[in-house]
């Protein structure tokens, strides 16, 4: 029986603190779900420790949020979508079969490779369905839903615990997502799962069936095994006020996770002395049962009690997760009954005073550093005794804190890919900023001194595992502390890239009159285009979801789609190209201020979930609304979100994409044109989901720029964008998968090239690749020859300037050398695929939920 704490992410430029509480039965509780959380699950599959296996998102049955904000719930909608699609597809997988084999649609979503399941098509048509009540079930309803288990095909529910406002946030998501058969139970404010469990509530953590209760009779007395293999959770909410332009009341929630008393060790020598035969009787005694058997020496019946062969049970394990944003919250927190009871269970020497309850083993601090370092807070930590370990995962509350305390990105696969490409050409693909070390063991335990004395702490790091049970192994699993980016790993990468021949090919391209093609380190006068995400549907290890940053020659900028993680990826890109004479904090603040507008192509989650962080962090820097051009669904969602996150009120000026169609005057045209220096910005309806648009912008640093959003090939778009200097077009599928493209309402590589030809575009960048192409999709040479224009395959962190597009197109053969077709990266999962042709052959398949 084992239990542990797994650190997923820490506070960096592109991630927020999140962790898992892993129960002995393998079920998991996720603490906070900020942007990029799905990617961290995927990274666990390529863990740097053989002792720790991959984590499947489907094994998370409970999510606990410490507060309402983009840093705790920015990744929650995406997680719900992915998890719901997985469980729905598994249910469909069990019911829908072809004549030759089972239709395997959905394991792809769980590992986010998106082989067939496309989130976009799952959302199509939701705009007309309205509602959303079926997504949320009030956790306080109680009752027995045993029968529903069968009706739902065994689809599990998700339990979300946290501050007031969660229910309102989830309901606001109905404007762009809905999963009818996937239920979410919400518990706001004070909550104790043990009460639900004892009352047989449907929302208890161990499932919707009533738990069976039994007793273990052992040397330590009766042990209630109702929840022996899982953690109970108790939330501890504290309300506090924040005053800026106006006073806002918020709720900070800390948590206590506990197990029942731990059964004592089975005493083999004692059982032998009592004459108990080896075999099943040992197991019965260990399980707490008294046994009766015939003594082989006396041939008489003999009874042995479990307590005679089992050591006394020990107190249950306890984990406190503390979020304390202010000293005002600390004063309330330390007086709560829960924490006062924990203090009373320790003797002055640190030993256990009470054997009947769980004791505190470890405290995980999500508290900001400014509060954690206060003597009052540290004195409170020491009051729990010297046996309690303190793990720090400090939350950050300002952009300055992120920059100052930034560590390496926890998204290793994407970073490694960026390093590979930067070796080929560091101008187009800037080298990610990393720290080369061979071990993270040194310095993991810190002894911070203060007026209250020394408090040893353990600094949390991505994929670190802290063992809770068995207590004999309690502490950090040091094999999980290996470096994210070791010197050896980077040296090996450099050798592999050089051996591939990619560097040689790229060098020959540069020597053929292209050279740097106008690339400038600062990008101050030329403008630039940075790709923050180039994948479709769901995040994966190698590609983030869609986002682009287009900076004009005057220094101001526009974002084209803002998928989850966009700002984190943008900050990473800025850091890697920051001139040495610039002060990072000043430069970052200035660049965020200069983001003047956002354009959202359609209401699918992978194109706009990054808005929450953008609006929140920009509003904290300046009181100047951004121009937000989006489908009307976005404004309905944001208006409701403002009720739980008032910091974004007045942070944007709404412009419905249908009000800026080609031929109409832009409602905020003068402001937009003055700030960006552009001369026109117009939307074009395209075929994807309801309210999907492409955009054409005149007067950018690249000239006329056209962006397709997600869509089928559009002649109308080609007509409006005629003579485009730079076309950015989605290319979700490779040539030969036209059926899949039609089914999912996307485009193939060849279809995108055809639109470029019809548009008479001067250059083409292909993006929004299916996650089946984490590296680079294939392209038929015939298509390339027909166009005679530069064709660029986009990658995350790729940075283009007006003069570098030709070079970016010419290095494609070099990049293909990096990723041989037959190569399968360690940890990469290959999955059987169901083609569109097979799906279409199934009678009634188009009526199946999740296809159209």
- Six-digit token string for 656: 């419905």
- Highest averaged pLDDT of the listed ranges 110-119, 280-289, 754-763, 784-793: 754-763
Report the alpha-carbon distance of residue 849 to residue 114 in Å, rounded. Answer: 17
Indicate whether 763 pLDDT > 70: yes
DSSP single-letter state for residue 226: T
Q: Tell me, what's the pLDDT at 834?
A: 47
Summarize pLDDT for 142-169 with one digit per residue, the tens: 333 333 343 444 456 899 999 999 999 9
Paired with 694 in beta bridges are: 684
Instruction: Give the model's confidence band at 255: pLDDT under 50 very low, under 70 low, under 90 confident, else very high.
Output: very high
> 684 or 489, which is more confident?
684
- The three state secondary structure string of 766-800 is EECECCCCCCCCCCCHHHHHHHCCCEEECCCCCEE
Q: Quick one: which of 51, 818, 50 has its CA closest to 422?
A: 818
The pLDDT value given to residue 780: 74
Q: Which residues of 197-206 are buried (b: 16+ CB within 10 A; e: fewer)?
A: beeebbbbbb
Instruction: Give me the residues paired with residue 223 across strands.
Output: 216
Beta bridge pairs of residue 389: 362
pLDDT in tens, 430-462: 999 888 776 655 445 655 555 455 788 999 999
* Confidence at 1, pLDDT banded by 50, 70, 90: confident
Alpha-carbon distance 579 to 549, whole Å? Answer: 19
| 639 Cβ contact list (under 8 Å, min separation 6) | none
Give pLDDT, residue 514: 52
Q: What is the pLDDT of residues 51-64, one digit of tens each?
A: 555 677 778 989 99
Binned at pLDDT 50, 70 and 90, residue 174 comes out as very high
Q: Which two tokens mark 59?
A: 């094994």
The helix (run of H) or strand (run of E) holding residue 216 is strand 215-218
pTM of this prediction? Answer: 0.86
> Is the pLDDT score of 114 beyond 90?
no
Comparing 59 with 427, which gets the higher pLDDT?
Answer: 427
Reported as a single tens digit per residue, the pLDDT across 726-752 is 999 999 999 999 999 999 999 999 999
Report the share of the chain in percent with pLDDT over 90: 58
* Per-residue three-class SS string for 351-414: CECCCCCCEEEEEEECCCHHHHCCHHHHHHHHCCCCCCEEEECCCCCCHHHHHHCCCCCCCHHH
What does the block give as tokens for 458?
């353990």
Q: Of the candidates 111, 236, 163, which has an alpha carbon nearest to the alpha carbon of residue 542?
A: 111
- Summarised one tens digit per residue, pLDDT across range 385-403 is 989 999 999 999 899 999 9
Which of 123-132, 330-339, 377-386 has the least mean pLDDT? 123-132
- Predicted pLDDT at 236: 97
- pLDDT at position 140 is 40
Q: Which residues of 271-300 are buried (b: 16+ CB within 10 A; e: fewer)?
A: beeeebeeeebbebbbbbeebeeeeeeeee
pLDDT for 781? 59
Give the pLDDT score at 788: 83
Nearest by Cα to 22 from 45, 38, 5: 5
CA-to-CA distance for 466 and 479, rounded, in angstroms?
11
Per the CB < 8 A criterion, the answer to whether 61 and 155 are in contact is no
Confidence of residue 821 (pLDDT cuts 50, 70, 90): low
With 50 as the cut, is the pLDDT of residue 682 above it? yes
Pairing state of beta strands 191-192 and 232-243? antiparallel
Instruction: Give start-end residues of each CATH 3.60.15.10 domain in the chain.
Output: 489-516+528-819
Confidence of residue 104 (pLDDT cuts 50, 70, 90): very low
**Mean pLDDT (whole number) for 406-420:** 93
Residue 412 has a CB neighbour count (10 Å cut-off) of: 22
Specify the higher pLDDT residue, 157 or 806. Answer: 806
Task: Assign domain 489-516+528-819 one CATH number from 3.40.50.970, 3.30.420.40, 3.40.50.1820, 3.60.15.10.
Answer: 3.60.15.10
Residue 544 pLDDT > 70, yes or no? Answer: yes
- At 822-838, the pLDDT tens digits run 443 433 333 334 455 54
323 neighbors 66 (Cβ within 8 angstroms): yes
pLDDT bin (cut points 50, 70, 90) of residue 852 is very low
Position 782 scores a pLDDT of 59
pLDDT above 70 (res 50): no
601 pLDDT more than 70:
yes
**Which of 179, 152, 159, 158 minimizes the C-alpha distance to 91?**
152
The confidence band for 503, taking pLDDT boundaries of 50, 70 and 90, is very high
């Amino acid at each position: 029986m084992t239990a542990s704490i797994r650190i997923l992410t820490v506070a960096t430029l592109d991630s927020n603190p999140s962790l898992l509480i892993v129960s002995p039965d393998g079920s998991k509780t996720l603490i906070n779900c900020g942007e990029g959380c799905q990617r961290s699950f995927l990274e666990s599959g390529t863990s740097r420790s053989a002792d720790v296996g991959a984590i499947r998102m489907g094994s998370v049955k409970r999510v606990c949020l410490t507060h309402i904000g983009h840093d705790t719930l920015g990744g929650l909608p995406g997680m719900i979508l992915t998890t719901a699609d997985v469980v729905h597809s598994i249910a469909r997988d069990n019911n829908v079969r072809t004549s030759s084999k089972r239709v395997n649609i959905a394991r792809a979503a769980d590992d986010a490779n998106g082989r067939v399941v496309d989130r976009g098509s799952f959302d199509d048509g939701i705009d007309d369905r309205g509602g959303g009540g079926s997504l949320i079930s009030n956790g306080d309803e109680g009752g027995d839903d045993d029968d529903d288990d069968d009706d739902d095909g065994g689809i599990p529910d998700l339990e979300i615990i946290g501050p007031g406002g969660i229910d309102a946030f989830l309901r606001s998501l109905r404007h762009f997502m809905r999963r009818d058969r996937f239920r979410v139970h919400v518990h706001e404010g004070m909550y104790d799962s043990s009460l639900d469990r004892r009352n047989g509530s449907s929302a208890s953590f161990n499932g919707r069936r009533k738990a069976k209760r039994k007793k273990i009779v052992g040397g330590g007395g009766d042990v209630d095994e109702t929840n022996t293999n899982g953690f109970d959770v108790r939330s501890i909410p504290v309300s506090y006020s924040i005053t800026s332009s106006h006073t806002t009341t918020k709720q900070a929630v800390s948590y206590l996770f506990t197990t029942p008393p731990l059964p004592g060790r089975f005493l083999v020598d004692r059982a032998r002395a009592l004459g108990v035969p080896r075999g099943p009787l040992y197991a019965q005694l260990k399980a707490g049962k008294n046994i009766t058997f015939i003594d082989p020496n006396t041939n008489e019946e003999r009874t042995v009690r479990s307590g005679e062969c089992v050591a006394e049970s020990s107190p249950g394990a306890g984990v406190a997760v503390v979020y304390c944003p202010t000293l005002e919250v600390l004063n309330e927190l330390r007086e709560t009954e829960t924490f006062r009871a924990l203090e009373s269970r320790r003797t002055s020497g640190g030993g256990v005073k009470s054997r009947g309850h769980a004791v505190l083993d470890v405290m995980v601090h999500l508290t900001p550093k400014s509060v954690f370092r206060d003597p009052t807070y540290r004195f409170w930590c020491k009051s729990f005794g010297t046996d309690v370990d303190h793990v720090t995962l400090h939350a950050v509350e300002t952009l300055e804190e992120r920059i100052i305390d930034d560590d390496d990105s926890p998204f290793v696969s994407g970073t490694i890919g960026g390093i590979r490409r930067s070796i080929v050409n560091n101008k187009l693909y800037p080298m990610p900023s990393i720290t080369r070390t061979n071990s993270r063991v040194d310095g993991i335990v810190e002894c911070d001194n203060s007026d209250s004395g020394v408090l040893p702490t353990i600094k949390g790091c991505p994929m670190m595992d802290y063992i809770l049970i068995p207590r004999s192994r309690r502490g950090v699993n040091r094999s999980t502390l290996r470096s994210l980016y070791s010197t050896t790993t980077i040296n090996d990468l450099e050798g592999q890239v050089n051996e591939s021949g990619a560097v040689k090919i790229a060098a020959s391209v540069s020597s053929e009159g292209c050279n740097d093609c106008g690339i400038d380190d600062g990008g101050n006068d030329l403008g630039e285009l940075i790709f923050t995400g180039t994948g479709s549907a769901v995040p994966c290890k190698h590609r983030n979801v869609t986002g682009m940053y287009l900076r004009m020659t005057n220094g101001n900028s526009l974002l084209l789609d803002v998928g989850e993680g966009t700002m984190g990826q943008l900050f990473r890109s800025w850091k890697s190209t920051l001139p040495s004479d610039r002060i990072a904090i000043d430069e970052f603040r200035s660049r965020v201020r200069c983001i003047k507008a956002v354009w959202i192509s359609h209401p699918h989650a992978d194109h706009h979930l990054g808005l929450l962080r953008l609006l929140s962090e920009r509003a904290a820097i300046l009181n100047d609304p951004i121009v937000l051009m989006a489908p009307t669904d976005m404004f309905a969602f944001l208006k409701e979100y403002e009720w739980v996150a008032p910091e974004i009120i007045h942070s944007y000026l709404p412009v419905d994409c249908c009000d800026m169609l080609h031929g109409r005057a832009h409602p905020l045209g003068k402001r937009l044109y003055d700030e960006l220096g552009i001369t026109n910005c117009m939307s074009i309806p395209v075929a994807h989901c309801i309210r999907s648009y492409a955009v054409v912008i005149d007067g950018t640093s690249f000239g006329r720029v056209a962006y397709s959003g997600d869509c089928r090939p559009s002649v109308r778009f080609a007509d409006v964008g005629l003579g485009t200097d730079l076309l950015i077009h989605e290319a979700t599928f490779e040539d030969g998968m036209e059926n899949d493209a039609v089914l999912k309402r996307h485009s193939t590589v060849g279809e995108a090239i055809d639109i470029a030809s019809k548009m008479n575009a001067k250059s083409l960048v292909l993006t929004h690749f299916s996650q089946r192409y984490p590296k680079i999709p294939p392209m038929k040479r015939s298509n390339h020859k027909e166009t005679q224009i530069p064709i660029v395959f986009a990658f995350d962190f790729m940075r283009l300037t007006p003069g570098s597009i030709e070079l970016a197109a010419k290095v494609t053969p070099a990049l293909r050398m990096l990723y041989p077709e037959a190569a399968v990266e360690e940890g990469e999962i290959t999955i059987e695929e169901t083609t569109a042709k097979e799906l279409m052959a199934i009678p009634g398949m188009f009526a199946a939920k999740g296809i159209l």
